[in-house]
Structure 1
Amino acid sequence: MRFLTAISIIIIGFFVSPITHAAQVTNIESAPERVRPLLPGLDAPQLTLRNKDNKSVNLNNLYADNKATVIVVYRGGWCPYCSRQLAGIQKIEAQIAGYGAKIIAVSPDSPAALAKSKIDSPNYQLLSDSKLALAQALGVAYFLDEKTAKAYRDRMGVNFVDLDGQSKVALPVPAVFVVDKKGLVQFQYTNPNYKVRLDESVLLAAVKAASIL
């Protein structure tokens, strides 16, 4: 039975319309309240993502090259709450850079979608997690219920990562992680209520603390 279960997990994949992306389902919860974010003291994921120019960005290199790295996980450029959060962080970008830290904001948006953003800075960049690999590794990915998934698709016209081409849709719970130079998570904030975001003053304090370790 365990063997059959393992095989079932391996063959289940994700598809993004109109381009197909195969991604393994390893850690996606059934609801936002059930996610289990990576805790402080644990190793941050060492993955490679794509920027708006579709170029590879290795997270492990970012950790090592900066005193601290801020990972902002957001739902996508279509989300007004996410847009406000990104704009708020943009206002304190210089202060965060002053601590020797850099910001990466990660969403399921494709590199092409990221290219439409006005955020363009060596200290603050947007990255694509179209396969939800980072969201799963951080423990913040979840499946939307069928009603919500249909509303998002029909009313907002947004493409999401699908399970087997069905109506089951996965998104990340908005979250913020601060990772130190050694690649360890020093701070984590996750809220199942996507309308509530981390205050910028708290983020600054977390970055300051992580940058002096």
Structure 2
Amino acid sequence: MNANTIPFAITILALGLSVNIVFAQNANPQSKQTGPTQSEEIPMLSERLEAKAAASATRLPEDVRQTYARGIVTVRATGIEKSAKQVGDGAIDAQLSGWDGKSIKLSDLWQDGPIVLMWYRGGWCPYCNIQLRAMQQSMDKLENAGAKLVVLTPELPEKAKETAEANDLDIVALHDKGNAVARKYGLVFQLPKAIVPAYRDKLKLPQYNGNDAMELPLSATYVIDKSGKITYAFLDADYKKRAEPVDVIEAVKKAAQK
């Protein structure tokens, strides 16, 4: 081999090594990206909620669907979406216990960093369960953004535990007995008379909440910063609509920078 052929030989050798490396990476599953690809990403929460609503629409009689739809209109007409706590308002402090028996003071949590305060209506609500599972799947990103998730519910602790177990959740919901905290946030509304029988007799709301009050909180989500101020608020009278986890995570990132 003369001096003129040495660079060519080195090039061939380099190409051969490159091909072998690529082949080894493709042959070894552990060297591949383990996270979901763009086509395999978890669907947005709104898509899952819409799919559930579409499935319910095919199952429920038209008159029942119209009754629930009118119920949403009635709740929205009360102005609750605007009268409830909004961005810029001070958060309400409270000491609450979860089904694990541990007591938590909300201000102790937000003093350490932003918190996400989220209400769900009860384990009887399929839309709540879909949202809870979505938040569970987003927990790592939420915590990496600098926040703690705090979930409140009016359902009894033993019912909240059943909800967590049925949905494979690590989330421990805090018991908002009699909607006391939700009431201070302005989130509580009376169920429209037309849908009371369904909630009372079919969904067994009194058994879940441990009282006969025909009321519920909006499925609200707030982000609260270290100063105790609300920096993000999702409020919708339509129980089929919930805060999108990606939006909540972005709101947390902004709150954490303050």
**Match status 1:210 vs 2:255:** yes
Please give the residue correspondences for 1:6-155 in structure 2 after superposition, counting only pairs within 5 Å. 32-33=75-76, 34=78, 35=80, 36-65=83-112, 67-116=113-162, 117-118=164-165, 121=170, 124-155=171-202
Higher strand share: 1
Structure 2 CA distance for aligned equivalents of residues 197 and 182 of structure 1: 25
Displacement, 1:161? Answer: 6.6
Q: Give the alignment's TM-score, normalised by structure 1.
A: 0.77
CA distance in 2, matches of 1:76, 1:130: 12
Q: Which runs of 5+ in 2 are unaligned?
A: 1-73
Judged with a 3 Å threshold, the aligned counterparts in structure 2 of structure 1 residues 169 and 39 are, in CA distance, closer, same or farther, namely same
* Percent pairwise identity: 29
Name the SS of the counterpart of 1:202 in structure 2: helix
**Residues 87 and 231 in structure 2, CA contact (< 8 A), matched pair in contact too:** yes
Q: Which runs of 5+ in 1 are unaligned?
A: 1-30
The whole-number CA distance in structure 2 between the counterparts of 1:44 and 1:52 is 23
- 2:216 corresponds, among 171, 194, 197, to 171
| Structure 2 CA distance for aligned equivalents of residues 83 and 130 of structure 1 | 20
| Structure (1/2) with the larger helix percentage | 2
Distance 2:106 2:253 in 1: 20
Give the whole-Å Cα distance in 1 for the aligned partners of 2:151 and 2:88: 21
Which residue is 1:194 aligned to? 239
Distance (whole Å) between structure 2 residues aligned to residue 110 and residue 54 of structure 1? 12
Cα RMSD over matched residues? 1.7
Which secondary structure does the structure 2 equivalent of 1:115 belong to? helix
Q: Which has the higher contact order (CA 8 A, sep 6+)?
A: 1
- How many residues matched? 176
The two structures have a TM-score, normalised by structure 2, of 0.64
User: CA–CA distance in 1 between the matches of 2:142 and 2:103?
Assistant: 23
Distance (Å, rounded) in 2 between the aligned partners of 1:201 and 1:69: 15
Instruction: Look at both structures and tell me which one has the larger radius of gyration over its CA atoms.
Output: 2
- 1:103–1:125 contact (8 Å) kept in structure 2: no
Instruction: Give the C-alpha shift of residue 55 in structure 1.
Output: 2.9
Supply the distance in 2 between the matched residues of 1:92 and 1:109 (Cα, whole angstroms).
Answer: 23
**Aligned partners of 1:105 and 1:76: how far apart in 2?**
11
